[in-house]
Amino acid sequence: MIKVFQAKAKIIYNKRVTDNYFQAAVMSAEISRVALPGQFVNIRVVDTNDVLLRRPFSIHRVEGEKIIFLYEVKGKGTEILSQRKEGEYLDIIGPLGNGFDLNWQTGKLANRQTILVAGGMGVAPLVFLAERLVRVEGVRCKVEEKIKPLVLIGAKTKTQVLCENEFKKSGCEVKVATDDGSRGFKGWVTDLLDRHVCEGGHIGPPLQRIIYACGPAPMLKALAQIAGRNNIDAVGSLEAHMACGIGSCMGCVVKVARAQPQAGDDFEYKRVCKEGPVFDLKQIIW
């Protein structure tokens, strides 16, 4: 078991990226050293009763001892967080949760395609994942032997397409879908995925595809259906309201199909903060 830390982390910067999206970096030697893609940090955005509970944020990137978050201002908690200034300290707990399994499906790389699907804010943990994946896979095989990871980014409109360059920089191919068609494919990112999976566009032996995803629940649900239909393995990082973030309150559960269903008992509740946030999407009961 990896140790979890509670730290007073100094804010290095906290700035608007675009629209209501912000990026912040804090220093934490302990957490940055052990954090894995898909894990999160629980932040006390302010030390008053006004915003009482911590707010969970997935780790967007780790840079040396810096932990970087990408977040959308959409409530009181994130509003206050966006006003916190460089040089101030944030009380953070992390790293929390299971994270993505980088060694998942380590079969023959040459014939495999990794697909990352991000909806809206879902890009946040996937950038960290892409960086590590490329590094891990790069060690295992020569670059020319493998097919580049494909990243599908979904957003409402073109100004909200996040992290396209970060994904490209880490060596991924990127395709974009917007709800209004202002950039790339017009429609949901899951429709883009469906099209990609059906068309294939690949010559040679059939590809073994695996999907890593993060985004709103309806997107993950649609994605699970596509993955199911096409017999593709898919894991995704789920979001939930949390109270403690450390597995003690049992507040953030999701319904998961039992591996061995018993009579009249085919599901169990699992904690997003502890057994998750990354789950096998096909096991989730939506």
Q: Is 242 in the site for another protein (CB under 8 A)?
A: yes
Quote the distance between the C-alpha of residue 3 and its chain's center: 21
Q: Is 110 in the site for another protein (CB under 8 A)?
A: no
Q: Is 247 in the site for another protein (CB under 8 A)?
A: yes
Alpha-carbon distance of 124 to 192, in angstroms, equals 20
Among 173, 253, 256, 282, binds another protein (CB under 8 A): 253
- Part in contact with another protein (CB under 8 A); list of ranges 65-73, 158-166, 181-189, 235-243: 235-243
- Part in contact with another protein (CB under 8 A); list of ranges 4-12, 102-110, 116-124, 142-150: 4-12
Q: Is 151 in the site for another protein (CB under 8 A)?
A: no
Cis peptide bond prior to 37, omega within 30° of 0: no
DSSP helix/strand/coil, 273 = coil
Smallest separation, CB 124 to another protein (Å):
21
Among 90, 93, 162, 163, binds another protein (CB under 8 A): 93
Please return the burial class of 214, using the count of CB atoms within 10 Å of its CB with bins 0-12, 13-18 and 19+: buried
Q: Is 54 in the site for another protein (CB under 8 A)?
A: yes
Q: Is 220 in the site for another protein (CB under 8 A)?
A: no
Smallest separation, CB 237 to another protein (Å):
17
Gyration radius of the chain's alpha carbons: 19
Among 49, 103, 260, 262, binds another protein (CB under 8 A): 49
Please report, for residues 49, 83, 84, 114, the alpha-carbon distance to residue 15 in angstroms, rounded to integers and kept in the order given.
25, 9, 10, 31
Enclosing H/E stretch for 130:
helix 123-140
Residue appearing with tokens 């894995």: 36
Alpha-carbon distance of 260 to 72, in angstroms, equals 39
Among 17, 29, 52, 257, binds another protein (CB under 8 A): 52
Q: Is 255 in the site for another protein (CB under 8 A)?
A: yes
Alpha-carbon distance of 91 to 10, in angstroms, equals 9
Smallest separation, CB 254 to another protein (Å):
7
Select 138 or 216, whichever has its Cβ closest to another protein. Answer: 216
Smallest separation, CB 266 to another protein (Å):
12
Alpha-carbon distance of 110 to 202, in angstroms, equals 13
How many residues of this chain bind another protein (CB under 8 A)? Answer: 31
Contact 184, 175 (CB under 8 A): yes
Contact 251, 244 (CB under 8 A): yes
Among 34, 109, 243, 256, binds another protein (CB under 8 A): 243
**Interface residue list for another protein (CB under 8 A):** 3-6, 44, 49-54, 91, 93, 240-255, 268-269
